[in-house]
A and B are shown apart, each in its own frame.
Chain A
Amino acid sequence: EAGVTQSPTHLIKTRGQQATLRCSPISGHTSVYWYQQALGLGLQFLLWYDEGEERNRGNFPPRFSGRQFPNYSSELNVNALELEDSALYLCASSLGLETNTGELFFGEGSRLTVL
Chain B
Amino acid sequence: GEDVEQSLFLSVREGDSSVINCTYTDSSSTYLYWYKQEPGAGLQLLTYIFSNMDMKQDQRLTVLLNKKDKHLSLRIADTQTGDSAIYFCAETYNFNKFYFGSGTKLNVKP
Q: Are A90 and B48 in contact (CB under 8 A)?
A: no
Binds B, one of A33-41, A65-73, A78-86: A33-41
B52 within 8 A of A: no
Q: CA A105 – CA B43 in complex, angstroms? A: 7
- Name the interface residues of A82-102: CB closer than 8 Å to any CB of B: 90, 92, 94, 97, 99, 101-102
Q: Are B48 and A41 in contact (CB under 8 A)?
A: no
Q: Are B102 and A41 in contact (CB under 8 A)?
A: yes
Q: CA A102 – CA B96 in complex, angstroms? A: 9
Scan B4-19; emit 1 where CB is below 8 A from any A CB, else 0. Answer: 1000100000000000
B97 within 8 A of A: yes
Q: CA A94 – CA B102 in complex, angstroms? A: 22
Interface centre among A4, A40, A97, A104 (most CB of B within 10 A): A104
A51 within 8 A of B: no
Q: Are B48 and A106 in contact (CB under 8 A)?
A: no
Identify B100's interface contact among A42, A48, A56, CB under 8 A.
Answer: A42
Chain B residues contacting A33 (CB-CB under 8 Å) are 98
Chain A residues contacting B55 (CB-CB under 8 Å) are none
B82 within 8 A of A: no
Chain B residues contacting A56 (CB-CB under 8 Å) are 96-97
Q: How far is the CB of A100 from chain B (nearest CB, A)?
A: 10
A63 within 8 A of B: no
Q: Which residue of B lies closest to A104 (CB)?
A: B98
Chain A residues contacting B8 (CB-CB under 8 Å) are 40
Q: Which residue of B lies closest to A45 (CB)?
A: B97
Chain B residues contacting A99 (CB-CB under 8 Å) are 95
Chain B residues contacting A45 (CB-CB under 8 Å) are 97-100
Q: How far is the CB of A99 from chain B (nearest CB, A)?
A: 6
A42-B88, A101-B31 as given contacts; A106 in contact with B43, CB under 8 Å: yes
Q: How far is the CB of A58 from chain B (nearest CB, A)?
A: 8
Mind listing 14 A-B residue pairs with CB under 8 Å? A35-B100, A45-B97, A48-B97, A58-B97, A90-B42, A97-B95, A101-B31, A101-B48, A102-B33, A102-B95, A104-B35, A104-B43, A104-B45, A108-B40
